[in-house]
Amino acid sequence: MRLGIEDMRVLVRGAGDLATGVIAKLHETGFKVVAVEIAQPSVIRRTVSFAQAVFDGETTVEGIRAVLTEWPDVESVWAQGAVPVVIDPRLEGLGRMRFDVVVDAIIAKRNLGTTMTMAPIVIGLGPGFEAGKDVHAVIETMRGHYLGRVIYEGIPEPDTAVPGLIGGFAGERVIRAPREGLYKPLVEIGTRVKEGQAVAEVDGEPAIATISGVLRGQLSEGLHVTKGFKVADVDPRAEEDHCLTISDKARSIGGGVLEAVLHLARAI
């Protein structure tokens, strides 16, 4: 007997901004979704990431509340109409609860251990996965014509290591750590910054914006970073509301995941 959407349980690995787009799409459609994270997620777009619940206990993105919890209390969080977030890097929850779908939304550009045996439906986002081998479906994450496409056999576009073009800028949007050390923000997300402005420090050395715009995201204070690590992101379009809403890319990927789940569910 096929399960109804309201009966299907989905485990999403990761709760960054792209994963949050996926989680929001599935949650709003009626699936029971759990996000699993590490103890100190290095999330840049914190204001639109359910991973922020790891630091604050709970967070809300576009009206959807996410609550940090533990596996025994997942059902009670669902009963509140919220999304449970569990710190579980080893995926011990797979042995504690039944999951019909597993989505790897870590966006690590490589497979960190996800296999087709984890659930009846297993989906990977972006490079590092091969549909039909590692997962049942892969979602294209490269900006452009095929963004959000579902791949049932083969691989997505390879990682170019170059950020997507936004407002005419690509790699220039990214602010990187000038050295190894502890990250300390100097301005808040949503603040308008100018080219050459210090937006943060790493052990006292400034991290400088290379373009002007709105600071769309940055790491949480106190995280340890290595030299060259991505610590912040400037949006040259300078729309402050974009800092508080799920991006077009995350929505497209979320739609691809929803399509893949509904398509593959017909066979189980």
String of DSSP letters for 110-161: S-SS--GGGSSEEEEESTT--BTTTBSEEE--SSSTTTT-EESSB--PPP-S
- For residue 78, give Cα distances in angstroms to 14, 18, 32, 181: 18, 21, 7, 38
**Mean pLDDT value across residues 83-89:** 98
Q: Taking Cα atoms as reference points, which of 174, 163, 232 lies closest to residue 202?
A: 232
Which range (49-53, 160-164, 202-206, 208-212) has the least confidence? 160-164
* Domains of the chain: residue spans and CATH: 5-159+248-265 (3.40.50), 171-236 (2.40.50.100)
Digit-coded pLDDT (tens) for 117-170: 999 999 999 999 999 999 999 999 999 999 999 999 999 999 876 666 676 766
Mean pLDDT of 76-86: 98
- Concatenate the DSSP letters of all residues of the chain into one string: -PPPGGG-EEEEE--SHHHHHHHHHHHHHT-EEEEEE-SS---S-GGG-GGGHHHHSEEEETTEEEEEE-GGGHHHHHHTT-EEEEE-TT-GGGGTS--SEEEE----SS-SS--GGGSSEEEEESTT--BTTTBSEEE--SSSTTTT-EESSB--PPP-SSPPPBTTBSGGGEEE-SSSEEEEESS-TT-EE-TT-EEEEETTEEEE-SS-EEEEEEPPTT-EE-TT-EEEEEETT--GGGGSS--HHHHHHHHHHHHHHHHHHTT-
Please report the pLDDT score of residue 169 as a whole number: 64
Give residue 1's pLDDT. 41
Q: Mean per-residue pLDDT for 179-197?
A: 96
Which tens digits make up the pLDDT trace of 165-180? 676 766 789 999 999 9
* Residue 4 confidence (pLDDT): 83
Average confidence score pLDDT of the chain: 94
pLDDT band at 238 (very low <50, low <70, confident <90, very high): confident
